[in-house]
């Protein structure tokens, strides 16, 4: 089932399952961020992210819910989780799970990875195969899940806000589709949270332009896929994480067929105790 705004929603695509963040550790760097979701300038929901980094390992939890008219029309909510290891500019996830709910429809996807290759995958309901570009075994090797794709590691001791941070291609597999998101440097911006407070990030972010390329699991010739592949208005704003050689999204913006979809941080806190993530995407 192709998703029209997949590249825009690397955050939103990873939005919906179950994840409980582990207790904070003195040697661990933890990030808690909250995001506002808008479409064509109208608020449609909210999301939260918790991430932990210790040595070369990570865990990430993302939850989201639609609000207002969007909630009335879709009832969309949920959460996703991923964990694994990272080094320099490379992420190696070991486990991923997502559980989405929209109206009467939902999906649950789980898979484990070994050395970047997908193993023991479960997808409910099963993906359609008629008219779909088959996903080969090769398409499930050397990949990252949508949650892990949100994290951009950099070489330890290097400048996380260097333009080269954007120079990468993310080989994403979400259980139903395999696609690439290519990033390139565009500019720098300065950001601050809506409500300043202890541990809140305020300062420079690096802005990367993004390009979407369908690989497999999609329906060839589908209008939504062609729109995304030709879309020039996609970007991700990345903020550094003090205490860990990684960057995480401050903002993601993608032009859709009905207007700009924007996911923007209202708070971005590094440090402090972990909080329990929402089970059903109801509490953020």
Helices (H), the chain: 68-74, 223-229
Task: Determine the average pLDDT of the residues in 170-175.
Answer: 96
pLDDT at position 76, please? Answer: 72
* Burial (0-12, 13-18, 19+ Cβ within 10 Å), 128: exposed
- Domain 8-19+30-269, architecture per CATH: Beta Barrel (2.40)
pLDDT at position 231, please? Answer: 94
The residues, any chain, with a CB within 8 Å of residue 156's CB and separated by 6 or more, are: 88, 245
Q: Is the pLDDT of residue 12 over 70?
A: no
pLDDT at position 158, please? Answer: 82
Q: pLDDT tens digit string along 189-242?
A: 999 988 778 889 999 999 999 999 999 999 999 999 999 999 999 999 999 999
Q: Is the pLDDT of residue 24 over 60?
A: no
pLDDT at position 240, please? Answer: 96
Q: pLDDT tens digit string along 81-111?
A: 999 999 888 999 999 999 988 767 889 999 9
How do strand 259-270 and strand 246-256 relate by DSSP bridges? antiparallel
Q: What does the alpha-carbon distance between residue 238 and residue 79 come to, in Å, rounded to a whole number?
A: 21
Q: Is the pLDDT of residue 148 over 60?
A: yes
Q: What does the alpha-carbon distance between residue 82 and residue 113 come to, in Å, rounded to a whole number?
A: 11
């Amino acid at each position: 089932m192709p998703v029209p705004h997949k590249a825009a929603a690397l955050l939103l695509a990873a939005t919906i399952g179950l994840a409980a963040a582990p207790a904070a550790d003195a040697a661990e760097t933890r990030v808690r961020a909250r995001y506002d979701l808008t479409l064509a300038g109208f608020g449609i929901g909210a999301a939260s992210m918790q991430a932990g980094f210790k040595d070369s390992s990570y865990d990430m939890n993302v939850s989201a819910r639609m609000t207002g008219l969007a909630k009335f029309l879709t009832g969309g909510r949920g959460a996703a989780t991923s964990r694994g290891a990272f080094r320099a500019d490379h992420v190696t996830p070991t486990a991923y799970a997502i559980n989405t709910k929209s109206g009467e429809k939902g999906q649950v996807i789980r898979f484990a990875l070994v050395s970047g290759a997908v193993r023991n995958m479960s997808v409910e309901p099963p993906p359609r195969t008629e008219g779909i570009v088959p996903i080969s075994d090769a398409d499930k090797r050397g990949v990252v899940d949508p949650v892990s794709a949100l994290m951009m590691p950099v070489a330890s001791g290097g400048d996380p806000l260097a333009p080269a941070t954007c120079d990468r291609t993310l080989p994403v597999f979400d259980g139903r589709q395999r696609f690439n998101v290519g990033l390139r440097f565009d500019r720098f911006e300065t950001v601050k949270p809506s409500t300043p407070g202890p541990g809140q990030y305020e300062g420079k972010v690096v802005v990367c332009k993004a390009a979407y390329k369908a690989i497999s699991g999609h329906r060839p010739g589908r209008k939504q896929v062609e729109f995304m592949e030709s879309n020039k208005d996609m970007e991700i704003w990345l903020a550094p994480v003090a205490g860990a050689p990684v960057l995480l999204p401050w903002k993601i913006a993608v032009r859709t067929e009905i207007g700009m979809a924007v996911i923007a941080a209202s708070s971005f806190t590094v440090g402090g105790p972990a909080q329990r993530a929402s089970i059903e995407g109801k509490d953020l």
